[in-house]
Amino acid sequence: MLVKLKDGELVKQMPEADWDLVISVNLKGVFNCTQAVAPIMIRQGSGVILNASSVVGIDGNFGQTNYVATKAGVIGMTKVWARELGRHGVRVNAVAPGFILTDMVRQMPERILAQMQAHVPLGRLGDPDDIANAYVFLASDEAAYISGAVLRVDGGIVVGT
């Protein structure tokens, strides 16, 4: 959370160290990996770069300023790299998962899981295979004319509704 107020008084702010850590992993990590592989892909005249974003990078989410900033940044980098690398035969796309029933999510209280599921028009939380299938498709030749896209895999949810 950026700031927390109680009775009009500031009671908490996001520590800069929390901001820096999430930026370093989620944004700088993507930058570093792509910078490492892009020259190889350019030399070979082909390649596929698939980035991990999130629906919160598109829609935002209360209390997640640093995470949202990184996932929105990944979307921006995906779009610019698709433009920069496309002329070299390299496609760049991102997947933006919604609520996925991972081991971490399974540990959440049942009432929170029920609330999450209630906001998904398809009526269920996603399965990790749903995300894997999106990546497999975007990496395949069947997606040969897709670049600069952000594929939501979220059961139709709009975060915050």
Instruction: Tell me if residue 135 is catalytic.
Output: no
Q: How far apart are CA 37 and CA 9, in angstroms?
A: 48
DSSP state letter for 125: P
Q: How far is CA 80 from CA 43, 47, 85, in A?
A: 19, 16, 8
Pairing of strands 3-6, 90-97: unpaired
Helix-, strand-, coil-residue percentages of the chain, each rounded to 5: 50, 20, 30
Catalytic position from the list 19, 67, 135, 137: 67
Beta-carbon contacts of 22 under 8 Å, excluding residues fewer than 6 positions away, are 66, 67, 69, 70
Active-site residues, by number, are 67
